[in-house]
Amino acid sequence: MQGNNKALQSFLIESEENLAQLEQDIVALEREPEDHERIDSAFRAVHTIKGTCGFFGFCHLEALGHAIEDVLGAMRDGKLHMTRDRATILLEGVDFCRALLTLINNDGNDGEHTPEELIQRLREQLEHAEEAPAEAEPEPVASATAEPDAPAPATDQTETGADQGDSPPEKPADASASEQSPRESTVRVDVVLLDKLMNVVGELVLTRNQLLQHTTNQNDAQLVNLSQRLNLVTSELQEGLMQTRMQPIRNAWSTYPRLLLELEKKTGKRVNPILKGGDTELDRSLLEAIRDPLIHLVRNAVDHGLESPQARQAAGKPEAGTLTLSAYHESGNVIVEVSDDGAGLDSDKILRRAIEAGLLRPEQAEQLSERQRINFIFEPGFSTASQVSDLSGRGVGLDVVRTNIEKIGGSIDIKSKRGVGTTIKLKIPLTLAIVPALIVRCMHQRFAIPQVNLMEVVYLEADKQEAEIQTVHDALVYRLRGRLLPLIDMRTILEMGERETQKDQFILVLSADQQEFGLLVDDVRDTEEIVVKPLGKLLKDTPCFAGATIMGDGRVALILDVKSLADYAGVTRQERRLRHADTLPNTAEDNTIRVAENYLLIKPNSGEGRSAIALSKVSRLEEISADRIEYSGGREVVQYRGGILPLIRLNPATDNEEDNEVIKIVVQPTEHGEVGIVVNDILDIVADQNTQISQNASQDGLLGAGIVLGRVTDFIDCDTLVRKALNTNPSAQSEDGNER
């Protein structure tokens, strides 16, 4: 019984493979009906299935297999020719075989009915076979002359990669032919076992790392030698095991010819597929992960990318569109490209759609580069297809493709030229199990951050912090080379403590989902190849973490999931807002300035007037006792955070007792350090105003006046004000002080 079961399992596996082979062959034959090797291969595949069925008594599958075999046999004998219709019927047969195999897998038998109708249709094909030879007779002659050329395009179009990879070009191109010899030298291994082995090797790598760290402190030459040896062997083992998990990307492509055939039928377009670099290998888990995104891209390319044959002709292109899939290695990553020679992306249409969808404002559009425009197709909720077809319009957009690719540490890029075509480039890491990571420290804990997400590291001195880190919309931002970078403070987000402001910090510039943000950490340690371990059950639901790893010294470090962290901290939304604010024009035109900043509305003095200070120039608001005011060089100052904060008054001292008791200061970073602007009251924050400021240079320290919330408001020019205040003759300033 046991033995029988095992046999059944291997029958199922083999049959699946044979069906896959059969399918590929049928599709290839539809394009190249005279490819005899293909016919033989297809025939063999179905023959094997049919033959084995007899042992198990799967009579329905046997009958179906027989019918398919007969049709292919007629083709092999030159009595019948492959046509698109015939291919379709044969593929239906393949699908039905699959269904029967599933049935066998679940119930142990192949059901109760023979697919009579399908078998009947297959048999009908044979009726034509009798007449065929007479009609087809001239054809073999014609194709005989074409023969020398014919195989070349065939290999070119579907198996070019195989040719490039191996020296004998013909054999590997035909998978079934090459399968014969290596069959004895290969062993089938359960994937679960491979995963387990990978895990064990991971443990070994960790132990090795610990041992190495330990032995460096020892004085034992023998021990050091042995551990070096262990080191090498472990690396070799690790590498070898990684290789066993590698699969050629061809495996993910195997279904494409079939897919394209269906797409062609549905869209009425002709597609000429070119597959390059099918031998490029990828970790199997990654291969699985990119399978669906790739199919999506291919569907998209045919459905939206390529034009109809008429349109192509009109544009002076060959009727059949070319779809190129290529895979190759590039600096430790695998690159997979899907490119078509279709109409290219219509960036105007994309823009219109993006504006409709509220992804940007019309006035921002002019500022965008072609590339930026095109990239909107990756935004959630975006689809340019004017009509939703059942091919690609499944409500799943490119944003999902991007998300899935980024989930495995990859990235996606798009290039398009109108009228020429579109290329989508996927960059995928070789493996997921072991990743290079940066080790950082936050308080007493260490964290690993995958290198793929890391753009750069910025060192931030403690005394520059206040000046360089600002608050916008309740969130921290850092001005990185003139660009606002949303900041996440690690301590705050992980509730480890409050933000460190007294000591030097590091900002890690991370990118997730095509958005960059900064992460404030206490220290940056080292880069290390870490082995990713899944988190235990208890920690499964925590956001922000992708797993854990064991460091060389035996301690555990959590691995940050950069994308989740960004989502958790709400950076994504924040960044979008900043980006929009950033892309707004800020050049002065004539004598008006367009303002795209948030402003702090204040009352400069006890009067009715109102003023606005750019929020980006505000680091904090403080209320302090007037008793704390001291004088230095005739200027009002307060001791503040271990330093001296010069005060600038917008209001002359008033009689209001409260104002004289507790003063409100707006702390601003300047190039000379922080200064505090003393205001009478703080009223509000006005967001993103498109206020027109009319410049009247009547007063130094004012940018001009504008209307905010229905009232005339002075816009304070902080830079000038501060410069003026700090440069003024101290004696003049002291009058101010003496008045009080």
Partner 1 sequence: MEHTLRTRVRDRLGILVVDDSNAVRSLITAKLHELSEDTYDLDVRQAADGEQALLETEKHTFDLILLDVEMPGMGGLEACRMLRQRHCPARIAMLSSMTSAEAHLAGRQAGCDNYLVKPPHDSDLRSILRLVSLRKQASA
Q: What is the contact surface with partner 1 in residues (CB under 8 A)?
A: 471, 473-474, 498, 600, 615, 618, 620-628, 657-658, 661-662, 666-667, 682, 684-685
Taking the complex as a whole, how short is the minimal distance between the CB of residue 623 and partner 1, in angstroms? 5
Taking the complex as a whole, how short is the minimal distance between the CB of residue 234 and partner 1, in angstroms? 48
140, 466, 478, 497 from 500: Cα distances, Å: 82, 11, 15, 8
Which two three-digit tokens encode residue 221?
A: 């030459």
**Which residues, 6 or more positions from 273, have their beta carbon under 8 angstroms from its beta carbon?**
157, 158, 256, 257, 260, 322, 323, 324, 325
> Three-state SS for 521?
strand
By beta-carbon proximity to partner 1, the closer residue of 9 and 625 is 625
**Which residues, 6 or more positions from 465, have their beta carbon under 8 angstroms from its beta carbon?**
501, 505
Pairing of strands 515-521, 523-531: unpaired
Taking the complex as a whole, how short is the minimal distance between the CB of residue 683 and partner 1, in angstroms? 8
Taking the complex as a whole, how short is the minimal distance between the CB of residue 491 and partner 1, in angstroms? 12
Taking the complex as a whole, how short is the minimal distance between the CB of residue 653 and partner 1, in angstroms? 15
Go through 526-558 and write b for each residue having 16 or more CB atoms within 10 A of its CB, e for each that does not: eebebbbbeeeeeeeeeebbbbbbbbbeeeebb
Taking the complex as a whole, how short is the minimal distance between the CB of residue 613 and partner 1, in angstroms? 9
d(CA 20, CA 280): 20
Which two three-digit tokens encode residue 615?
A: 């929020």
By beta-carbon proximity to partner 1, the closer residue of 91 and 666 is 666
Go through 430-454 and write b for each residue having 16 or more CB atoms within 10 A of its CB, e for each that does not: ebbbbbebbbbbbeeebbbbbebbb
Which two three-digit tokens encode residue 442?
A: 């936050």
By beta-carbon proximity to partner 1, the closer residue of 600 and 693 is 600
By beta-carbon proximity to partner 1, the closer residue of 290 and 618 is 618
By beta-carbon proximity to partner 1, the closer residue of 434 and 614 is 614
What is the distance, to the nearest Å, from the Cα of residue 126 to the centroid of all Cα atoms in its chain? Answer: 50
Rounded to the nearest 10 degrees, the angle between the axes of helix 59-76 and helix 84-107 is 150
Beta partners for residue 476, in sequence order: 471, 487
Name the H helices within 384-518. 398-407, 462-468, 490-493
Taking the complex as a whole, how short is the minimal distance between the CB of residue 657 and partner 1, in angstroms? 7
Pairing of strands 434-442, 711-716: unpaired
**Which residues, 6 or more positions from 704, have their beta carbon under 8 angstroms from its beta carbon?**
593, 693, 694, 695, 696, 714, 715
By beta-carbon proximity to partner 1, the closer residue of 48 and 713 is 713
Beta partners for residue 668, in sequence order: 675
By beta-carbon proximity to partner 1, the closer residue of 175 and 493 is 493
Taking the complex as a whole, how short is the minimal distance between the CB of residue 264 and partner 1, in angstroms? 57
Taking the complex as a whole, how short is the minimal distance between the CB of residue 476 and partner 1, in angstroms? 9
By beta-carbon proximity to partner 1, the closer residue of 58 and 599 is 599
By beta-carbon proximity to partner 1, the closer residue of 628 and 711 is 628
Per the CB < 8 A criterion, the answer to whether 102 and 66 are in contact is no
Q: How big is the chain by its Cα radius of gyration, in Å? A: 35
- Please name the helix (run of DSSP H) or strand (run of DSSP E) that holds residue 384, with its range, or none: none
By beta-carbon proximity to partner 1, the closer residue of 457 and 667 is 667
Strands in 611-614's sheet, in edge-to-edge order, are 592-594, 692-694, 702-708, 711-716, 611-614, 599-603, 681-686
Taking the complex as a whole, how short is the minimal distance between the CB of residue 677 and partner 1, in angstroms? 12
Of the candidates 401, 347, 376, 415, the residue with the CA atom closest to the CA atom of residue 583? 376
Query: φ and ψ at 396, to 5 degrees?
Result: -105, 115
Taking the complex as a whole, how short is the minimal distance between the CB of residue 492 and partner 1, in angstroms? 10
Taking the complex as a whole, how short is the minimal distance between the CB of residue 258 and partner 1, in angstroms? 57
Taking the complex as a whole, how short is the minimal distance between the CB of residue 490 and partner 1, in angstroms? 17
Of the candidates 565, 339, 341, the residue with the CA atom closest to the CA atom of residue 449? 565
> Three-state SS for 318?
coil
d(CA 672, CA 674): 7
Taking the complex as a whole, how short is the minimal distance between the CB of residue 734 and partner 1, in angstroms? 22
Taking the complex as a whole, how short is the minimal distance between the CB of residue 600 and partner 1, in angstroms? 5
By beta-carbon proximity to partner 1, the closer residue of 201 and 578 is 578
By beta-carbon proximity to partner 1, the closer residue of 473 and 576 is 473
By beta-carbon proximity to partner 1, the closer residue of 90 and 638 is 638
**Which residues, 6 or more positions from 427, have their beta carbon under 8 angstroms from its beta carbon?**
330, 333, 334, 335, 410, 411, 412, 413
Of the candidates 607, 603, 609, 585, the residue with the CA atom closest to the CA atom of residue 595? 585
What is the distance, to the nearest Å, from the Cα of residue 640 to the centroid of all Cα atoms in its chain? Answer: 45
By beta-carbon proximity to partner 1, the closer residue of 559 and 665 is 665
Taking the complex as a whole, how short is the minimal distance between the CB of residue 558 and partner 1, in angstroms? 25
Residues in the chain: 740
By beta-carbon proximity to partner 1, the closer residue of 85 and 627 is 627
By beta-carbon proximity to partner 1, the closer residue of 348 and 684 is 684
By beta-carbon proximity to partner 1, the closer residue of 615 and 703 is 615
State the number of CA atoms in the 13 A half-sphere of 86 facing the CB. 25
Taking the complex as a whole, how short is the minimal distance between the CB of residue 709 and partner 1, in angstroms? 14
